């Protein structure tokens, strides 16, 4: 079994956060025989500085060949005026497109120690563990026509087009149902079938996939606006939420804020299973950006990056127990009141990036 991981730390706090994941991987290789083989490349502004593009062809090829890609963050004011095609974000978009990462997984987990930092009452979020599965490569962000036309009468018309084909809905629904089986076995599908044709099709196809293959999973349908309301009213009613690109973008950001800081939020993006190996291409990244305001100071919160690596263990290497253990280590460190500045609370001890990483690794080691 191959265990190659391609690291793309990127810009700003990306490399600082990635450094803490390296420590964990080194420990696993030294003591658990995991045999992870690491390689590293450039993406974003640093790649632009080195090669004049947001990711080189050589690094793209390595990302395509790897079992998993760990991505830090890209961008920063230094590159605000570079040409649109080679701006730092273009590196991430290229990876998503070439690797065909159609399923974006955004967990919203509330660590008990941070329940009081939520924008909701602690009792509404304590123990919260939901997973939003967002379709990432279709829908209104990509549909054609997509343009602004001049109507010639002093008016212009902005056009975006929402398109979903059966196979796109089938494959994202399949991912959601599969994941639900490893969790609380419940999926809530969200669309706007009341006003959108693509929503009608979405609803039909999800229902069909459920009936055909996943009738053991509890399925519920909700209109996406009502779903947004329920998400902030009683979030614990959900297990897995599956939705399109646009609604998923918004709903996952809403869900994120139920659980506190940007520095805590991991994500995974998965592609289709390989026809021969069955293995999915996958990229794991924190939700946050390069945080130029704190970059280079050694104070960034590495938890989002570490939790992204936990997702990598779970979804790319089927190391489910280790993933839980790493997540438990994060929870324990928070329980002990060890905090980076962004999640600082009363009576807690403030630490920097590397101390936080060390504390999590120590808990991880302690439970092995
Ligand atoms: P950001 O996520 O980088 O930062 C927003 C705020 O949250 C900042 O005050 C930052 O200090 C704080 N923050 C973020 N992550 C943190 C962490 N791990 N620990 C402690 N504090 C943290 O978003 P912003 O400021 O809008 O964008 C900064 C740059 O990052 C821009 O160039 C943007 O284009 C890029 N960006 C890149 C993303 C990616 O690589 N996937 C995603 C979002 C933004
Ligand atoms: Mg967003």
Give the Å distance between the CA of 287 and the centre of ligand 2.
Answer: 8
Residue 168 phi, psi dihedral angles, 5° rounding: -70, -40
* 164 catalytic per annotation: no
Catalytic residue among 160, 253, 342, 358: 253
Burial of 113 (C-beta count, 10 Å sphere; 0-12/13-18/19+): buried
Nearest CA to ligand 1 atom 11: 291
* pLDDT for the residue numbered 258: 87
* 141 catalytic per annotation: yes
- For 238, other C-beta atoms within 10 Å of its C-beta total 24
Catalytic residue among 62, 249, 281, 284: 249
* pLDDT for the residue numbered 1: 57
Q: Is 294 in the pocket of ligand 1 (CB under 6 A)?
A: yes
* pLDDT for the residue numbered 320: 95
Q: Is 262 in the pocket of ligand 1 (CB under 6 A)?
A: yes
The model's pTM is: 0.95
Contact 330, 360 (CB under 8 A): yes
Give the Å distance between the CA of 340 and the centre of ligand 1.
Answer: 15
- Alpha helices for the chain (secondary structure H): 14-32, 45-51, 57-65, 89-98, 122-125, 166-181, 197-213, 224-233, 245-257, 303-316, 320-335, 353-366
* pLDDT for the residue numbered 278: 85
* pLDDT for the residue numbered 209: 98
Q: Is 289 in the pocket of ligand 1 (CB under 6 A)?
A: yes
Give the Å distance between the CA of 62 and the centre of ligand 2.
Answer: 27
Give the Å distance between the CA of 98 and the centre of ligand 1.
Answer: 24
Q: Which atom of ligand 1 is nearest to the CA of 303?
A: 18
The answer on whether 82 is annotated among ligand-binding residues is yes
* 328 catalytic per annotation: no
d(CA 211, CA 227): 22
d(CA 68, CA 48): 23
Q: Is 73 in the pocket of ligand 1 (CB under 6 A)?
A: yes
The answer on whether 292 is annotated among ligand-binding residues is yes
d(CA 224, CA 190): 5
Give the Å distance between the CA of 290 and the centre of ligand 1.
Answer: 5
The answer on whether 253 is annotated among ligand-binding residues is yes
Nearest CA to ligand 1 atom 16: 263
The answer on whether 79 is annotated among ligand-binding residues is yes
Catalytic residue among 192, 214, 281, 315: 192
Q: Is 290 in the pocket of ligand 1 (CB under 6 A)?
A: yes
What pairing do the DSSP bridges indicate for beta strands 129-135 and 103-109?
A: antiparallel
| Model ipTM value | 0.98
* pLDDT for the residue numbered 259: 80
* pLDDT for the residue numbered 70: 98
d(CA 280, CA 101): 9
Burial of 239 (C-beta count, 10 Å sphere; 0-12/13-18/19+): buried
Q: Is 87 in the pocket of ligand 1 (CB under 6 A)?
A: no
Catalytic residue among 225, 274, 335, 336: 225
Question: Which pLDDT tens digits describe the chain residue by residue (368 residues)?
Answer: 579 999 999 999 999 999 999 999 999 999 999 999 999 999 999 999 999 999 999 999 999 999 999 999 999 999 999 998 899 999 999 999 999 999 999 999 998 888 887 888 989 999 899 999 999 999 999 999 999 999 999 999 999 999 999 999 999 999 999 999 999 999 999 999 999 999 999 999 999 999 999 999 999 999 999 999 999 999 999 999 999 999 999 999 899 888 878 899 999 999 988 888 888 999 999 999 999 999 999 999 999 999 999 999 999 999 999 999 999 999 999 999 999 999 998 999 999 999 999 999 999 999 98
Give the Å distance between the CA of 151 and the centre of ligand 2.
Answer: 31
The answer on whether 296 is annotated among ligand-binding residues is yes
């Amino acid at each position: 079994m191959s265990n190659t991981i391609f690291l793309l730390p990127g810009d700003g706090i990306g490399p600082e956060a990635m450094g803490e994941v390296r420590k964990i991987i080194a420990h696993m290789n030294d003591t658990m025989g995991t045999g992870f083989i690491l390689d590293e490349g450039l993406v974003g502004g640093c790649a632009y500085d080195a090669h004049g593009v947001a990711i080189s062809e050589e690094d793209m090829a390595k990302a395509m060949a790897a079992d998993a890609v760990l991505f830090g963050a890209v961008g920063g004011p230094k590159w605000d005026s570079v040409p649109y095609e080679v701006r730092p974000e273009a590196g991430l978009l290229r990876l998503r497109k070439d690797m065909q990462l159609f399923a974006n997984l955004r967990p919203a987990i509330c660590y008990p120690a941070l329940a009081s930092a939520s924008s909701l009452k602690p009792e509404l979020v304590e123990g919260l563990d939901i997973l939003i599965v967002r379709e990432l490569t279709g829908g209104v962000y990509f549909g054609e026509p997509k343009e602004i036309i001049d109507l010639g009468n002093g008016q212009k018309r902005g056009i975006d087009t929402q398109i979903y084909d059966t196979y796109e809905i089938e494959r994202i629904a399949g991912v959601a149902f599969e994941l639900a089986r490893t969790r609380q076995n419940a999926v809530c599908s969200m669309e706007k079938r009341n006003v959108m044709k693509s929503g009608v099709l979405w609803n039909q196809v999800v229902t069909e996939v459920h009936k055909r293959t996943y009738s053991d999973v509890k399925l519920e349908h909700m209109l996406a606006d009502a779903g947004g309301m329920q998400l902030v009213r009683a979030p614990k009613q959900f297990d897995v939420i599956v939705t399109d690109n646009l609604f998923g973008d918004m709903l996952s950001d809403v869900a994120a804020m139920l659980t506190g800081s940007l520095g805590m939020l991991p994500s995974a993006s998965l592609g289709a299973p390989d026809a021969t190996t069955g293995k999915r291409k996958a990229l794991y990244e924190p939700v946050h950006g390069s945080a130029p305001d704190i970059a280079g100071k050694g104070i960034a919160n590495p938890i989002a990056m570490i939790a992204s690596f936990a997702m990598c263990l779970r979804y790319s290497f089927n190391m489910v127990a280790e993933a839980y253990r790493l997540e438990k280590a994060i929870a324990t460190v928070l329980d002990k009141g060890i905090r980076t500045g962004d999640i600082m609370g009363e009576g807690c001890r403030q630490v920097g990036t590397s101390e936080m990483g060390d504390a999590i690794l120590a808990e991880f080691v302690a439970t092995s």
